[in-house]
Amino acid sequence: MQEENNIRILLQRCCVWHLAFVWILILLFSAPGSAEAGGVWLYEIGTPDLGVAAAGRDATALDASVAITNPAAMTNLDRPQLIAGLQALFIDTQFSTQESGFGGGDGGNAGGVMPAASFSYADKLNDSVWLGIGMGSYFGLGLNYDDDWSGRYYVKEASLLTAGATVSMGADVTDSFAVGLGLNVLVAKLLMKTAVNNLPLESSAADGELKADATTTGVGGNVGLFYKITPNVRTGLTYRTPVRLKFDDAISFSGLGSILEQQLVNSGLLGKNLDITFTVPQAISFSLHYDFTPRWAVMGSVSWQNWKEFGVLETSIEDTNVSDATIDLNYTDTWHFALGFRGRIAEQWIWSIGAAYDTSPCSESNRSPILPLDRQIRVATGIQYEVDEDVTLGVAYEYLDAGKAKIDREGGPLTGPLKGEYNTNHIQYVAVNMQWKF
Protein backbone atom coordinates (compact mmCIF):
# COMPACT_ATOMS: atom_id res chain seq x y z
CA MET A 1 0.00 0.00 0.00
CA GLN A 2 2.83 2.40 0.90
CA GLU A 3 4.62 1.56 -2.35
CA GLU A 4 1.46 2.33 -4.37
CA ASN A 5 1.07 5.63 -2.54
CA ASN A 6 4.70 6.57 -3.28
CA ILE A 7 4.20 5.77 -6.97
CA ARG A 8 1.04 7.90 -7.02
CA ILE A 9 2.91 10.85 -5.46
CA LEU A 10 5.78 10.42 -7.93
CA LEU A 11 3.36 10.45 -10.88
CA GLN A 12 1.64 13.53 -9.51
CA ARG A 13 4.93 15.37 -9.21
CA CYS A 14 5.91 14.39 -12.75
CA CYS A 15 2.62 15.86 -13.94
CA VAL A 16 3.26 19.00 -11.90
CA TRP A 17 6.70 19.55 -13.38
CA HIS A 18 5.31 18.91 -16.86
CA LEU A 19 2.62 21.52 -16.23
CA ALA A 20 5.27 23.87 -14.83
CA PHE A 21 7.33 23.51 -18.01
CA VAL A 22 4.31 24.23 -20.22
CA TRP A 23 3.34 27.24 -18.12
CA ILE A 24 6.86 28.64 -18.23
CA LEU A 25 6.75 28.43 -22.02
CA ILE A 26 3.46 30.36 -21.97
CA LEU A 27 5.04 33.01 -19.75
CA LEU A 28 8.09 33.31 -21.97
CA PHE A 29 6.02 33.76 -25.12
CA SER A 30 3.69 36.25 -23.40
CA ALA A 31 6.51 38.14 -21.64
CA PRO A 32 6.55 41.15 -24.03
CA GLY A 33 3.19 42.19 -22.58
CA SER A 34 3.43 40.67 -19.16
CA ALA A 35 4.43 43.84 -17.32
CA GLU A 36 3.14 46.58 -19.54
CA ALA A 37 0.82 48.93 -17.70
CA GLY A 38 0.21 52.57 -16.95
CA GLY A 39 2.27 52.25 -13.81
CA VAL A 40 5.57 50.74 -12.71
CA TRP A 41 5.31 48.78 -9.45
CA LEU A 42 2.82 45.95 -9.99
CA TYR A 43 1.29 44.21 -6.96
CA GLU A 44 -1.05 42.41 -9.35
CA ILE A 45 0.37 39.09 -10.53
CA GLY A 46 -2.83 37.13 -11.22
CA THR A 47 -2.92 35.43 -7.80
CA PRO A 48 -5.95 35.10 -5.48
CA ASP A 49 -4.76 37.99 -3.29
CA LEU A 50 -5.70 40.31 -6.14
CA GLY A 51 -9.13 40.07 -4.51
CA VAL A 52 -7.84 41.78 -1.34
CA ALA A 53 -5.66 44.34 -3.22
CA ALA A 54 -2.59 42.33 -2.06
CA ALA A 55 -3.33 43.07 1.62
CA GLY A 56 -1.52 40.69 3.98
CA ARG A 57 0.59 39.26 1.16
CA ASP A 58 3.65 38.58 3.36
CA ALA A 59 1.66 36.87 6.13
CA THR A 60 -1.44 35.17 4.69
CA ALA A 61 0.53 32.24 3.18
CA LEU A 62 -2.35 30.30 1.64
CA ASP A 63 -0.87 29.33 -1.74
CA ALA A 64 2.39 28.73 -3.60
CA SER A 65 2.73 32.38 -4.73
CA VAL A 66 4.65 32.99 -1.48
CA ALA A 67 7.59 31.40 -3.33
CA ILE A 68 7.81 34.82 -5.05
CA THR A 69 6.48 37.19 -2.38
CA ASN A 70 7.74 35.83 0.98
CA PRO A 71 9.75 32.59 0.76
CA ALA A 72 9.72 32.15 4.55
CA ALA A 73 5.92 31.70 4.42
CA MET A 74 6.25 28.53 2.32
CA THR A 75 6.70 26.68 5.61
CA ASN A 76 3.05 27.49 6.47
CA LEU A 77 1.73 25.53 3.48
CA ASP A 78 0.13 22.21 4.37
CA ARG A 79 1.58 20.29 1.41
CA PRO A 80 3.36 20.78 -1.96
CA GLN A 81 1.36 22.83 -4.42
CA LEU A 82 1.38 25.07 -7.46
CA ILE A 83 -0.62 28.07 -8.62
CA ALA A 84 -0.99 29.51 -12.13
CA GLY A 85 -2.74 32.71 -13.08
CA LEU A 86 -3.81 34.58 -16.21
CA GLN A 87 -4.57 38.28 -16.06
CA ALA A 88 -5.79 41.03 -18.39
CA LEU A 89 -5.12 44.74 -17.84
CA PHE A 90 -7.55 47.26 -19.31
CA ILE A 91 -5.73 50.61 -19.30
CA ASP A 92 -7.46 53.95 -19.88
CA THR A 93 -5.15 57.00 -19.75
CA GLN A 94 -6.28 60.23 -21.41
CA PHE A 95 -4.55 63.60 -21.04
CA SER A 96 -6.24 67.01 -21.22
CA THR A 97 -3.88 69.78 -22.37
CA GLN A 98 -4.07 73.21 -20.73
CA GLU A 99 -0.87 74.69 -22.16
CA SER A 100 1.66 73.49 -24.73
CA GLY A 101 4.64 75.28 -26.22
CA PHE A 102 4.22 73.93 -29.74
CA GLY A 103 0.55 72.92 -30.01
CA GLY A 104 -0.87 69.50 -30.70
CA GLY A 105 -3.72 67.30 -29.49
CA ASP A 106 -4.39 65.60 -26.17
CA GLY A 107 -2.74 62.34 -27.22
CA GLY A 108 -5.80 60.09 -27.30
CA ASN A 109 -6.05 57.06 -25.06
CA ALA A 110 -2.44 56.11 -24.34
CA GLY A 111 -3.48 52.81 -22.77
CA GLY A 112 -4.87 49.58 -24.17
CA VAL A 113 -5.44 45.94 -23.26
CA MET A 114 -2.47 43.93 -22.01
CA PRO A 115 -2.13 40.23 -21.05
CA ALA A 116 -0.11 38.93 -18.12
CA ALA A 117 0.59 35.57 -16.51
CA SER A 118 2.32 34.08 -13.47
CA PHE A 119 3.30 30.70 -12.09
CA SER A 120 4.59 29.49 -8.69
CA TYR A 121 5.45 26.07 -7.31
CA ALA A 122 6.46 25.17 -3.74
CA ASP A 123 7.61 21.75 -2.51
CA LYS A 124 9.12 20.22 0.63
CA LEU A 125 12.78 19.29 0.70
CA ASN A 126 12.30 17.82 4.18
CA ASP A 127 10.13 18.45 7.25
CA SER A 128 11.56 21.95 7.87
CA VAL A 129 12.86 23.18 4.49
CA TRP A 130 10.84 24.21 1.43
CA LEU A 131 11.98 25.08 -2.09
CA GLY A 132 10.05 27.25 -4.55
CA ILE A 133 10.18 28.60 -8.08
CA GLY A 134 8.11 31.30 -9.71
CA MET A 135 7.77 33.37 -12.85
CA GLY A 136 5.98 36.63 -13.46
CA SER A 137 6.70 40.32 -13.17
CA TYR A 138 6.33 43.05 -10.56
CA PHE A 139 7.73 46.02 -12.51
CA GLY A 140 6.93 47.71 -15.84
CA LEU A 141 5.47 50.66 -17.69
CA GLY A 142 3.91 51.26 -21.08
CA LEU A 143 2.06 54.09 -22.83
CA ASN A 144 1.56 55.06 -26.48
CA TYR A 145 0.35 58.59 -27.34
CA ASP A 146 -0.73 59.97 -30.72
CA ASP A 147 2.26 61.12 -32.79
CA ASP A 148 1.06 64.74 -32.99
CA TRP A 149 0.07 65.20 -29.35
CA SER A 150 1.07 68.27 -27.32
CA GLY A 151 3.68 66.43 -25.27
CA ARG A 152 5.43 64.70 -28.16
CA TYR A 153 8.74 66.42 -27.34
CA TYR A 154 8.62 64.76 -23.90
CA VAL A 155 7.51 61.30 -25.04
CA LYS A 156 5.49 59.63 -27.79
CA GLU A 157 5.82 55.99 -26.80
CA ALA A 158 7.35 54.31 -23.77
CA SER A 159 7.50 50.73 -22.56
CA LEU A 160 9.65 48.95 -20.03
CA LEU A 161 8.65 45.31 -20.24
CA THR A 162 9.98 42.81 -17.73
CA ALA A 163 9.83 39.07 -17.18
CA GLY A 164 11.07 37.80 -13.83
CA ALA A 165 12.09 34.40 -12.49
CA THR A 166 12.56 33.54 -8.80
CA VAL A 167 14.20 30.61 -7.05
CA SER A 168 13.59 30.56 -3.30
CA MET A 169 14.03 28.61 -0.09
CA GLY A 170 12.21 28.79 3.26
CA ALA A 171 13.16 27.08 6.51
CA ASP A 172 11.66 26.71 9.98
CA VAL A 173 13.87 28.05 12.76
CA THR A 174 11.34 27.16 15.46
CA ASP A 175 7.76 25.86 15.37
CA SER A 176 6.49 29.44 15.00
CA PHE A 177 9.34 31.29 13.23
CA ALA A 178 10.74 30.82 9.70
CA VAL A 179 13.20 32.59 7.42
CA GLY A 180 13.48 32.61 3.64
CA LEU A 181 15.70 33.74 0.79
CA GLY A 182 15.01 34.29 -2.89
CA LEU A 183 17.09 35.02 -5.98
CA ASN A 184 15.38 37.11 -8.67
CA VAL A 185 16.45 37.46 -12.30
CA LEU A 186 14.71 40.23 -14.24
CA VAL A 187 14.91 40.42 -18.04
CA ALA A 188 13.92 43.90 -19.26
CA LYS A 189 13.10 45.26 -22.70
CA LEU A 190 13.15 49.07 -23.08
CA LEU A 191 11.56 51.00 -25.94
CA MET A 192 11.06 54.77 -25.88
CA LYS A 193 10.35 57.19 -28.71
CA THR A 194 10.36 60.98 -28.43
CA ALA A 195 9.95 63.64 -31.10
CA VAL A 196 12.87 66.04 -31.57
CA ASN A 197 11.93 69.63 -32.45
CA ASN A 198 13.71 70.98 -35.55
CA LEU A 199 11.34 73.95 -36.07
CA PRO A 200 13.06 76.69 -33.99
CA LEU A 201 16.18 76.25 -36.13
CA GLU A 202 14.74 75.19 -39.51
CA SER A 203 11.20 76.37 -40.16
CA SER A 204 10.60 73.86 -42.93
CA ALA A 205 11.97 70.78 -41.13
CA ALA A 206 9.70 68.05 -39.81
CA ASP A 207 10.24 66.52 -36.39
CA GLY A 208 13.15 64.21 -35.86
CA GLU A 209 13.05 61.27 -33.46
CA LEU A 210 15.01 60.08 -30.46
CA LYS A 211 14.68 56.35 -29.90
CA ALA A 212 15.84 54.17 -27.01
CA ASP A 213 15.76 50.46 -27.75
CA ALA A 214 17.69 47.86 -25.75
CA THR A 215 17.43 44.72 -23.65
CA THR A 216 19.24 43.90 -20.44
CA THR A 217 19.17 41.61 -17.40
CA GLY A 218 19.29 42.52 -13.72
CA VAL A 219 19.71 40.36 -10.64
CA GLY A 220 18.34 40.95 -7.16
CA GLY A 221 17.08 39.11 -4.13
CA ASN A 222 14.51 39.07 -1.39
CA VAL A 223 14.63 38.10 2.26
CA GLY A 224 11.57 37.06 4.24
CA LEU A 225 10.60 36.46 7.86
CA PHE A 226 7.42 34.68 8.95
CA TYR A 227 6.14 34.45 12.54
CA LYS A 228 3.04 32.86 14.06
CA ILE A 229 2.14 34.94 17.11
CA THR A 230 -0.78 32.61 17.90
CA PRO A 231 -2.51 29.91 15.84
CA ASN A 232 -4.86 32.66 14.57
CA VAL A 233 -2.39 35.52 14.12
CA ARG A 234 0.63 35.54 11.85
CA THR A 235 2.97 38.22 10.53
CA GLY A 236 5.41 38.54 7.67
CA LEU A 237 8.28 40.93 6.88
CA THR A 238 10.05 41.06 3.52
CA TYR A 239 12.90 43.03 2.01
CA ARG A 240 13.41 43.19 -1.74
CA THR A 241 16.78 44.43 -2.96
CA PRO A 242 17.15 47.06 -5.70
CA VAL A 243 17.75 45.74 -9.21
CA ARG A 244 19.94 47.82 -11.51
CA LEU A 245 18.98 47.77 -15.17
CA LYS A 246 21.67 49.27 -17.42
CA PHE A 247 20.83 49.61 -21.10
CA ASP A 248 24.11 50.10 -22.95
CA ASP A 249 24.30 52.24 -26.08
CA ALA A 250 20.52 52.43 -26.12
CA ILE A 251 19.81 55.83 -27.72
CA SER A 252 19.80 56.69 -31.44
CA PHE A 253 18.56 59.64 -33.52
CA SER A 254 16.88 60.00 -36.89
CA GLY A 255 15.43 62.83 -38.95
CA LEU A 256 17.47 65.62 -37.33
CA GLY A 257 17.71 68.88 -39.22
CA SER A 258 21.21 69.76 -40.40
CA ILE A 259 21.55 72.76 -38.05
CA LEU A 260 20.34 70.88 -34.95
CA GLU A 261 22.47 67.86 -35.82
CA GLN A 262 25.61 70.00 -36.07
CA GLN A 263 24.84 71.76 -32.78
CA LEU A 264 24.36 68.42 -31.02
CA VAL A 265 27.68 67.24 -32.46
CA ASN A 266 29.32 70.39 -31.09
CA SER A 267 27.76 69.79 -27.64
CA GLY A 268 29.21 66.28 -27.60
CA LEU A 269 25.84 64.53 -27.54
CA LEU A 270 26.10 62.88 -30.95
CA GLY A 271 28.95 60.51 -31.63
CA LYS A 272 29.15 58.94 -28.17
CA ASN A 273 27.54 55.93 -26.57
CA LEU A 274 24.35 56.98 -24.79
CA ASP A 275 23.30 54.67 -21.97
CA ILE A 276 20.17 54.55 -19.81
CA THR A 277 20.11 53.20 -16.27
CA PHE A 278 17.05 52.47 -14.13
CA THR A 279 17.04 51.08 -10.62
CA VAL A 280 14.03 48.99 -9.67
CA PRO A 281 13.39 50.35 -6.16
CA GLN A 282 14.24 48.39 -3.06
CA ALA A 283 11.20 47.78 -0.86
CA ILE A 284 10.33 46.74 2.68
CA SER A 285 6.89 45.31 3.49
CA PHE A 286 5.18 44.23 6.72
CA SER A 287 1.93 42.24 6.81
CA LEU A 288 -0.48 40.93 9.44
CA HIS A 289 -3.13 38.21 9.08
CA TYR A 290 -5.76 37.54 11.76
CA ASP A 291 -8.37 34.75 11.67
CA PHE A 292 -10.90 36.49 13.92
CA THR A 293 -13.50 33.71 13.47
CA PRO A 294 -13.19 30.15 12.12
CA ARG A 295 -14.64 31.40 8.81
CA TRP A 296 -13.39 34.99 8.48
CA ALA A 297 -9.99 36.73 8.42
CA VAL A 298 -8.72 40.29 8.18
CA MET A 299 -5.32 41.15 6.76
CA GLY A 300 -3.27 44.31 6.20
CA SER A 301 0.06 45.52 4.82
CA VAL A 302 2.35 48.54 5.05
CA SER A 303 5.31 48.91 2.69
CA TRP A 304 7.97 51.44 1.67
CA GLN A 305 9.59 51.81 -1.75
CA ASN A 306 12.83 53.67 -2.41
CA TRP A 307 11.88 55.74 -5.48
CA LYS A 308 14.63 58.29 -4.79
CA GLU A 309 17.03 55.80 -6.36
CA PHE A 310 14.89 55.17 -9.44
CA GLY A 311 17.25 57.17 -11.66
CA VAL A 312 16.80 58.30 -15.24
CA LEU A 313 13.23 58.27 -16.51
CA GLU A 314 12.78 60.64 -19.44
CA THR A 315 14.67 60.93 -22.74
CA SER A 316 14.26 64.18 -24.65
CA ILE A 317 16.20 67.09 -26.19
CA GLU A 318 15.35 70.28 -24.28
CA ASP A 319 18.22 72.43 -25.57
CA THR A 320 20.94 72.40 -28.21
CA ASN A 321 23.62 72.66 -25.51
CA VAL A 322 22.79 69.40 -23.74
CA SER A 323 25.45 66.71 -23.50
CA ASP A 324 23.02 63.99 -22.42
CA ALA A 325 19.54 63.05 -23.67
CA THR A 326 18.34 61.63 -20.36
CA ILE A 327 16.65 63.38 -17.45
CA ASP A 328 16.50 62.35 -13.79
CA LEU A 329 13.16 63.61 -12.45
CA ASN A 330 14.16 63.27 -8.77
CA TYR A 331 11.35 61.09 -7.48
CA THR A 332 10.52 60.71 -3.80
CA ASP A 333 10.02 57.53 -1.77
CA THR A 334 6.49 56.14 -1.51
CA TRP A 335 4.32 54.33 1.05
CA HIS A 336 1.73 51.63 0.42
CA PHE A 337 -1.17 50.69 2.74
CA ALA A 338 -3.65 47.83 2.18
CA LEU A 339 -6.54 46.28 4.10
CA GLY A 340 -8.60 43.23 3.16
CA PHE A 341 -11.11 40.64 4.37
CA ARG A 342 -11.53 37.03 3.32
CA GLY A 343 -14.34 34.71 4.41
CA ARG A 344 -16.00 31.38 3.69
CA ILE A 345 -19.53 32.23 2.54
CA ALA A 346 -20.50 28.61 1.79
CA GLU A 347 -18.94 25.19 2.16
CA GLN A 348 -16.88 25.45 -1.04
CA TRP A 349 -16.91 29.22 -1.68
CA ILE A 350 -14.51 31.88 -0.38
CA TRP A 351 -15.11 35.60 -0.95
CA SER A 352 -12.52 38.38 -0.62
CA ILE A 353 -12.60 42.17 -0.68
CA GLY A 354 -9.90 44.80 -0.14
CA ALA A 355 -8.54 48.26 -0.78
CA ALA A 356 -5.10 49.89 -0.95
CA TYR A 357 -3.53 53.35 -1.12
CA ASP A 358 -0.12 54.44 -2.47
CA THR A 359 1.39 57.89 -2.03
CA SER A 360 2.58 59.80 -5.10
CA PRO A 361 6.25 59.49 -6.14
CA CYS A 362 6.38 62.98 -7.67
CA SER A 363 4.93 66.49 -7.85
CA GLU A 364 3.40 68.42 -10.76
CA SER A 365 6.71 70.08 -11.64
CA ASN A 366 8.66 66.84 -12.09
CA ARG A 367 5.92 64.46 -13.22
CA SER A 368 6.46 63.12 -16.73
CA PRO A 369 3.85 61.90 -19.24
CA ILE A 370 6.05 58.81 -19.52
CA LEU A 371 4.78 57.81 -16.06
CA PRO A 372 1.50 59.61 -15.19
CA LEU A 373 1.24 58.38 -11.61
CA ASP A 374 -0.34 60.38 -8.81
CA ARG A 375 -1.57 58.88 -5.59
CA GLN A 376 -3.08 55.46 -6.29
CA ILE A 377 -6.28 53.97 -4.90
CA ARG A 378 -7.12 50.29 -5.42
CA VAL A 379 -10.41 48.52 -4.68
CA ALA A 380 -10.75 44.79 -5.32
CA THR A 381 -12.86 41.70 -4.86
CA GLY A 382 -12.60 38.02 -5.72
CA ILE A 383 -14.20 34.61 -5.36
CA GLN A 384 -12.66 31.14 -5.06
CA TYR A 385 -14.34 27.77 -5.54
CA GLU A 386 -12.86 24.63 -3.98
CA VAL A 387 -13.55 21.91 -6.54
CA ASP A 388 -12.21 19.29 -4.12
CA GLU A 389 -9.49 19.04 -1.48
CA ASP A 390 -6.79 19.31 -4.17
CA VAL A 391 -8.04 21.85 -6.72
CA THR A 392 -9.28 25.43 -6.25
CA LEU A 393 -10.38 27.81 -9.01
CA GLY A 394 -10.55 31.58 -8.58
CA VAL A 395 -11.44 34.83 -10.31
CA ALA A 396 -10.66 38.36 -9.09
CA TYR A 397 -11.18 41.97 -10.15
CA GLU A 398 -9.39 45.17 -9.19
CA TYR A 399 -9.90 48.83 -10.11
CA LEU A 400 -6.91 51.19 -9.83
CA ASP A 401 -7.40 54.96 -9.85
CA ALA A 402 -4.05 56.67 -10.56
CA GLY A 403 -5.33 60.19 -9.86
CA LYS A 404 -5.31 63.36 -11.95
CA ALA A 405 -1.51 63.20 -12.31
CA LYS A 406 -1.25 66.93 -13.01
CA ILE A 407 1.74 68.03 -15.08
CA ASP A 408 3.30 71.51 -14.90
CA ARG A 409 6.61 71.35 -16.77
CA GLU A 410 8.44 74.48 -17.91
CA GLY A 411 10.59 72.60 -20.41
CA GLY A 412 13.33 74.08 -22.55
CA PRO A 413 13.58 75.90 -25.92
CA LEU A 414 12.99 72.70 -27.91
CA THR A 415 10.33 71.06 -25.71
CA GLY A 416 8.37 74.08 -24.47
CA PRO A 417 6.05 74.03 -21.46
CA LEU A 418 3.51 71.28 -20.93
CA LYS A 419 0.63 71.75 -18.51
CA GLY A 420 -2.52 69.68 -18.02
CA GLU A 421 -3.99 66.71 -16.23
CA TYR A 422 -5.36 63.24 -16.89
CA ASN A 423 -9.15 63.35 -16.90
CA THR A 424 -9.17 59.55 -17.20
CA ASN A 425 -6.38 57.62 -15.53
CA HIS A 426 -7.24 54.11 -14.39
CA ILE A 427 -6.48 50.41 -14.86
CA GLN A 428 -8.89 47.51 -14.46
CA TYR A 429 -7.51 44.05 -13.71
CA VAL A 430 -9.33 40.77 -14.31
CA ALA A 431 -7.58 37.54 -13.28
CA VAL A 432 -8.33 33.83 -13.21
CA ASN A 433 -6.19 31.31 -11.36
CA MET A 434 -5.93 27.64 -10.44
CA GLN A 435 -4.35 26.05 -7.37
CA TRP A 436 -3.39 22.40 -7.26
CA LYS A 437 -2.25 20.64 -4.10
CA PHE A 438 -0.76 17.15 -4.09
Question: What is the per-residue pLDDT across 67-119, written as a single tens digit (0 to 9) for each?
Answer: 999 999 999 999 999 999 988 888 899 999 999 988 899 999 998 887 788 88
pLDDT at position 162 over 60? yes
Q: How many C-beta neighbours within 10 Å does residue 384 have?
A: 22
pLDDT in tens, 415-427: 889 999 999 999 9
The pLDDT value given to residue 34: 32
Percent of the chain's residues with pLDDT above 90: 52
Q: Which of 32-36, 196-200, 218-222, 319-323 has the lowest mean pLDDT?
A: 32-36
* Residue 44 dihedral angles phi and psi, to the nearest 5°: -85, 110
Could you tell me which of 168, 164, 154 has the C-alpha nearest to residue 189?
164
CATH number of 2-437: 2.40.160.60
Average of per-residue pLDDT across 167-189: 94
Cβ burial of 429 (10 Å; 0-12, 13-18, 19+) is buried
Q: Residue 331's pLDDT band (boundaries 50, 70, 90)?
A: confident
| Residue range 25-32: mean pLDDT, rounded | 40
Q: How far apart are CA 434 and CA 84, in angstroms?
A: 6
What pTM was computed for the model? 0.87
- Reported as a single tens digit per residue, the pLDDT across 370-384 is 888 899 999 999 999
Query: Which pLDDT value is given to residue 226?
Result: 98
H/E run at residue 209: strand 208-230
pLDDT at 143 over 80: yes
